[in-house]
């Protein structure tokens, strides 16, 4: 029960985002275009959360996808939306700047 609660709150084992990217994971930034232009993770794809459903074809269902945004809220929503639409390997990378630091 405690493990389930920890996992739900995001306190489970940390994902190795750096290795995932080396292995071909896509970083999906779901902030607005204007936010993305102010700074983003190198080589990330910008698809604003409100347009995500129009861009499933840009993504492969069998590819590892790491979502990010400003704080982690929209990226959590994006993860849920993608999972509900058949994308199995989706991880919430949280805020883009902290994700960028984890990738160094």
Contact assessment for residue 64 and residue 89, using Cβ atoms and an 8 Å cutoff: yes
User: Per residue in 4-40, pLDDT tens?
Assistant: 555 555 555 678 999 999 999 999 999 999 999 999 9
The number of C-alpha atoms within 13 Å of 69 and in the hemisphere containing its C-beta is 19
The answer to pTM > 0.85 is yes
- How confident is the model over 57-84, as pLDDT tens digits? 989 999 999 999 999 999 999 999 999 9
d(CA 86, CA 61): 6
CATH among 3.40.250.10, 3.40.1350.10, 3.40.1360.10, 3.40.50.1100 for 13-102: 3.40.250.10
Domains of the chain, by residue range, sit at: 13-102
| CA–CA gap between residue 23 and residue 29 (Å, rounded) | 18
- Cα–Cα distance between 64 and 85 in angstroms, integer? 14
Residue given tokens 């700074």 in the structure block: 39
């Amino acid at each position: 029960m405690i493990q389930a609660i920890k996992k739900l709150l995001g306190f489970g084992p940390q994902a190795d985002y750096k290795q995932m990217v080396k292995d071909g994971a896509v970083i999906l930034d779901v902030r607005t275009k204007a936010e993305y232009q102010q700074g983003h993770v190198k080589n990330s794809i910008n698809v604003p959360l409100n347009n995500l459903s129009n861009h499933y074809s840009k993504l492969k269902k069998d590819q590892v996808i790491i979502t990010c945004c400003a704080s982690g809220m929209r990226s959590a929503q994006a993860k849920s939306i993608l999972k509900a639409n058949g994308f199995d390997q989706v991880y919430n990378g949280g805020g883009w700047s902290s994700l960028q630091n984890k990738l160094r």
